[in-house]
Structure 1
Amino acid sequence: MNLLLLIIIFTAVGGLLSVLAAAVFLLLPDRHRAAVLPHGISFAIGALLTVAFYGLIPEAFAKVGAEQFQTLSATILAGILGFFVLEKLLIWRHCHSGSCEAHGDEEAHHAHEAHDHSHNHGHGAKSAGALIILGDSIHNFVDGILIAAAFLTDVQLGIVSSLAVAAHEIPQEVGDFAILLESGYSKSKALFYNILASLSTVFGGVLAYYSLEDLHDSLPYFLALAASSFIYIAVADLIPSLHKKTDMKASLEQIALIAAGVLVIGYLHSVVHHFEAAG
């Protein structure tokens, strides 16, 4: 299949379908949604870390000589620190627009288990909604670039990367929906703006396809940045939310679902590789 078409399809999977899945998820009764969401977060952690350490990082190092290993490692480190700074700036901007409660901690933005507080629907809340849409658009655009970079390196890597993006985007989109609804947006408007923001994933992928093909030597560094993004999201934003539950049953469920994310992505990686080799 044409590589550009694959990029368009799988950036849509990572963006648009995650929005629709989140919209369907919001139709569940509150108690069911609260029970299911942490399981999705646990699975996403395993998926993201597996793609980063099993796919992206080994592929990046395989494409450079030993003399570039230190530079590539520094890129991963710089990426993780850079994503921390970017998220800190976004939180700071939310606080200075009077909407700290809408984005006050990791759960409000990524784990999203605290949607039942009451929010002010005035100027501050509307500003929070607008910032969520803008931030989500930028985030999705970057995801599109990273997915395209993975596809330009190896088709199987592109497929598992897009699936990992979808795995962590669904719980994030659920949270974005909740913030928009609590900011005074109707359900139809919240869905419309989230779909609009998700299209930036496809735009980022198409743009990267036409530009990164001419920057072949830079691809390992884009893969390193993709890995640092996945590692940061999993370790800094998702894992802390799991520590809110400390009982043995919940802990064992978390471990089992993280392991399931690892096994599913690892299995998909090997299946796609097998079909690629056979073709």
Structure 2
Amino acid sequence: MFLTTFKKTGEILNTRNEIPPDTLIDPDGRVVAFSRRFEEKYAEELQEERELLERIAKKYRKELVLWDTYLWTVLGCVCIVACGIVPAFILPHDFTNFLQSKYGRQSLHLLLSFAVGSLIGDVFLHLLPAVWADNQVDRLTAGVWTTVGVLFCFMLEKLCATSESSQRRMCAILNLIANFMDNFTHGLAIGGSFLMDTKLGLLTTFSIVIHELPHEISDFAILLRADFNRWSAVKAQLLTAAGGALGACAALFFHIECTTNGASQNILPFTAGSFINIALAQILPELMKETDSRQNILQWMCFLVGIMLMGVLNQFHLD
């Protein structure tokens, strides 16, 4: 409506400009001059009103897009949280008592073998390649942070683990810390992707969920090894999932698109180092005590399945 009025006003001005001021009707041009000033002022007011309406529309359009981004990001975080508690619902109801039997302990060792394989696969086929792929990341710094992650877990275990049971619990706690940081980077990726494009955010969320499912199963096995019951393990998994929500909130609040150099340069290598220590220094030595040849073969197969599965899922994640 305002645009049509503005065009009509322009046509009136153009018509008026064709009237010569020295006519018998207005020999000194004062009527035309007054009309010109009035209509120029009117045209300026129309232009200002149109610009104001455009600014208001742009503001509300931006707010609607932002709220849409918030809602999609919340949905992505819910998916990450769901991944952490899925293992609790696929295990038998009496799984805690089942673990006390010989067959139950052997089954737990198979899960732990899968956990070691998935952790190693996650480190060398996902986390570290993601760091090395970023040309802006200093590789020496990434190596230092990986070493810091290994030493951090080693020092905490030495300081706090005074018995075999305390060592297992410390291993579970360290794994929770590393997973919290890993989920934080996933939250950054989800929130940043939805800031860029809804379709990109959905694809990122789907790939992370597919990638995390086997990883969460291995995390659950580590918690069961530390004598966590089913619901204690669920609570611990929900705590690590809060890292994803925190990362998503950080991405939205600071308007971080996709990933950040800080996350690639510091958090991912530190997490990789923590996973290396947990897998090779804390879980694998216990599995090496197995003397049954059949069980050793099964553990080796679970170890390979964990590595290959993380490799395949990482290729899907990259695509």
Q: Could you tell me the TM-score, scaled by structure 2's length? A: 0.60
Is 1:52–1:231's contact at 8 Å kept on the other side of the alignment? yes
Instruction: Tell me if structure 2 keeps the 8 A contact 1:47–1:262.
Output: yes
Q: Find the counterpart in structure 1 of residue 64 from structure 2.
A: none
The SS at the match of 1:37 is helix
The aligned counterpart of 1:264 is 309
Distance in structure 2 (CA, Å) of the matches to 1:109 and 1:142:
12
Report if aligned partners of 1:151, 1:157 keep a CA contact under 8 Å in 2.
no
Name the residue aligned to 2:124: 53
Q: Residue 102 of structure 1 corresponds to which residue in structure 2?
A: 165
Deviations 1:91-123 (A, max 9, x none): 1xxx4xxxx4632x55x766xxxxxxxxxxxxx
Deviation, structure 1 residue 219? 1.0
Contact 1:147 1:161 in 2 (8 A): no
Q: CA deviation at 1:139?
A: 5.2
Q: Of the candidates 11, 17, 28, which is equivalent to residue 86 of structure 2?
A: 17
The 5 Å alignment of 1:1-279 reads: 2-14=72-84, 16-20=85-89, 24=93, 25-28=95-98, 30-65=101-136, 68-91=138-161, 95=162, 100=163, 102-103=165-166, 105-106=167-168, 136=173, 140=176, 142-150=178-186, 152-153=188-189, 155=204, 158-159=208-209, 162-176=212-226, 178=227, 191-211=230-250, 214=254, 216-220=260-264, 221-274=266-319
Residue range with higher mean Cα deviation, 245-254 or 198-207: 245-254
Distance 2:175 2:116 in 1: 18
Q: Distance in 2 between matches of 1:231 and 1:161?
A: 18
Aligned equivalent of 1:124: none
Q: Deviations over 1:121-169 (max 9, x none)?
A: xxxxxxxxxxxxxx74x85365233123045348377446533541322
Contact 2:110 / 2:299 at 8 angstroms: preserved in 1? yes
Q: 2:180 corresponds to which letter in structure 1?
A: G
1:32-82 C-alpha deviation (Å, 9 max, x unpaired): 31221111111111111111111110111222436x111111110111111
Tell me by how many angstroms 1:31 deviates.
2.9
- The change in CA–CA distance for 1:51 and 1:31 in structure 2 (over 3 A counts) is same
Contact kept, 8 Å, 1:48 with 1:231, in 2: the verdict is yes
Structure 1 residues 197 and 42, CA gap change in structure 2 (3 angstroms): closer
Q: Is the 8 A contact 1:79 1:225 kept in 2?
A: yes
| Alpha-carbon distance between aligned partners in 1 of 2:218 and 2:188, rounded to the nearest angstrom | 22
Q: TM-score, normalised by structure 1?
A: 0.68
Write the letter of the residue equivalent to 1:145.
M
Q: Distance in 2 between matches of 1:57 and 1:145?
A: 15
Residue type of the partner of 2:221? Answer: P
Whole-Å separation in 2 of the counterparts to 1:237 and 1:9? 30
Counterpart position of 2:51 = none
Q: SS of 2:83's equivalent? A: helix
**Which one has more relative contact order, counting CA pairs under 8 Å at least 6 apart?**
1
The amino acid of 1:143's aligned partner reads N
| Preserved contact between residue 83 and residue 213 of structure 2 (Cα < 8 Å) | yes
Q: What is the total number of aligned residue pairs between the two structures?
A: 227
- Contact kept? 2:188, 2:244, Cα under 8 Å: no
Residues in 2 aligned to 1:150 and 1:202: alpha-carbon distance in whole angstroms:
10
Q: What amino acid maps onto 1:52 in structure 2?
A: V
Instruction: List per-residue Cα deviations over 1:229-279 (Å, max 9, x = no partner).
Output: 2211111111111110144433322222111111222222233444xxxxx
Structure 2: which 5+ residue stretches go unaligned? 1-70, 191-203
The change in CA–CA distance for 1:141 and 1:255 in structure 2 (over 3 A counts) is: closer
Percent identity over paired residues: 21
What is the CA deviation profile of residues 209-240 of structure 1, one whole-angstrom value per residue up to 9, with x for unaligned ones?
A: 22356472211121112211221111111111
Give the direction of change, closer, same or farther, for the CA distance of 1:35–1:47 in structure 2 (3 Å limit): same
What secondary structure sits across from 1:71 in the alignment?
Answer: helix
- How large is the RMSD of aligned CA atoms in angstroms? 3.1
> Given residue 86 of structure 2, which amino acid in structure 1 is its aligned partner?
L
Q: Secondary structure at the match of 2:98?
A: coil
